[in-house]
Structure 1
Amino acid sequence: MIVRIVSLLIGYAFGNILSAFVVAKFFGQPAPTEFGSGNPGTANVGAVLGKKAGILVLIGDLFKTLVALVLVQFIFTADAELAMLYAGLGLTLGHDFPIWQKFKGGKGVAVSVLFMLIFDWRLGLIELLVALFVLVVSQNLTVPPILALLLMTAQYMMRGDTETMYVFLVLTLIMIWQFRTDLKDLVQGNAKKVDILKSTKQRFKNK
């Protein structure tokens, strides 16, 4: 129980470090909650402040995730996998519901992606490739991250790993909640489409 609680708290503490606020301040801009969509994440910062700013936010979110996961592994060497599992949950809760922002944070896509890859890189890679395929076909940014977490949940259910399954189920539900507005737009046919292949080809042409 100590491993679970401490790892969860460590993850939550690191999750509260929202890179978007740091980057926005570095660029001399107001808090990310005050411009664009109001979401303190990579997409919003990148859309308003430019690609470089968006990439810095992404790097910051990935870095805090990596540090937290490595730290709990170091502290709880004998229970490294269990520690990572709950640190991942804590990271998501901290990033999505930071206490210093009255529990209004980002959507945690980058955090979840890196967590899946570090926790089980083989399984995580497979789920992410499936999610990428769905992204290319559907041209929708909402479904892929939810699907990736849902597939992880299903995989651990089939393995009979109940505790891990429940943690990933919670992560899936959190992701669904964070994307609730986007899902509503998707159902109503108002979702924005992102043609990854077209934009990639365009970049190569510009070069």
Structure 2
Amino acid sequence: MPVEQGYLLKVLCLLAGYAFGCFLTAEIVARCLAGVAVRSVGNGEPNVENIARRLGKAAGLAVVAGDILKTVLACWFCYRLAAPELEHVAVLYGGVGAVLGHAFPVWRRGRGGYAALVAATWLVVYLPITGALCCLAGAVATIGTKRWVWGSVLAALLAIPVAFLQFGAQSGSGAVAVLFVLLWQCRTEIFPFGAGGTRSCRKKD
């Protein structure tokens, strides 16, 4: 495969994943159940906790299911688009794109949803066994610390050496990018002495 074609397919997978990620499930659930934008629901955050608290547990579960589904669809679409040429790399770029789209949707002013669930879903799809173990370690950390931020960051951190060892530097770099997205979203939780502030990463999405 020509080098130029490989680069083009990677960019297409990244953009396709980003497009899937931009569909914030919390926004869709809020509009379907309450008839308003998610900004008008509770604290206005597009996350599971806000939706479940204001619209009920079933609505919260719908957000979880939707975020998982859109990530799986992003990976599947990219694999179908470019797998003969890129193989597993198509899922790598599709998943990273989905994380970026969920965290920084192009159509929504300000921030998107917290990307931990999307990142975890991508890890399980991309690294079925080792990725699931990373997510399990993150879940244990969340339970132990009672802080969602530490579990999500730990899972993403553990995924970096795993991705490097399984598929090389390109995959490890993708895992690093996902970790930086989570760190950026949770910077005021991790570094409370810093200036500025956005969301609380105790909120699940």
TM-score range, shorter chain: 0.7 to 0.9
Residue 94 of structure 1 corresponds to: 101
| Alpha-carbon offset, residue 92 of structure 1 | 0.8
SS in structure 2 of the partner of residue 100 of structure 1: coil
Residue 37 of structure 1 corresponds to: 43
Residue 111 of structure 2 corresponds to: 104
1:193 to 1:103, Cα distance in 2 relative to 1, 3 A: closer
1:52 aligns with 2:52: no
Match of 1:119 among 126, 130, 133: 126
Contact in 1 for aligned 2:164/2:170 (Cα 8 Å):
no
Contact in 2 for aligned 1:131/1:145 (Cα 8 Å):
yes
1:156 aligns with 2:145: no
SS in structure 2 of the partner of residue 107 of structure 1: coil
Matches of 1:114 and 1:85, distance apart in 2: 12
Question: For structure 1, which runs of at least 5 residues remain unmatched after alignment?
Answer: 195-207
Residue 18 of structure 1 corresponds to: 24
| Alpha-carbon offset, residue 99 of structure 1 | 0.6
Of Structure 1 and Structure 2, the greater helix share is in 1
Residue 133 of structure 1 corresponds to: 140
Match of 1:61 among 45, 59, 67: 67
Determine what percentage of the aligned residue pairs are the same residue: 27
Greater Cα shift, 24-33 or 65-74: 24-33
Contact in 2 for aligned 1:117/1:125 (Cα 8 Å):
yes
| 1:79-133, Cα deviation, whole Å (9 max, x unpaired) | 2311110111110111110110035200112211110000011111111111121
Structure scoring higher RCO (CA < 8 A, sep ≥ 6) equals: 2
Residue 199 of structure 1 corresponds to: none
Question: For structure 2, which runs of at least 5 residues remain unmatched after alignment?
Answer: 1-6, 195-199
1:182 aligns with 2:185: no
1:74 aligns with 2:80: yes
1:35 to 1:129, Cα distance in 2 relative to 1, 3 A: same
| RMSD (Å) for aligned C-alpha atoms | 2.3
Contact in 1 for aligned 2:51/2:59 (Cα 8 Å):
yes
Contact in 2 for aligned 1:72/1:80 (Cα 8 Å):
no
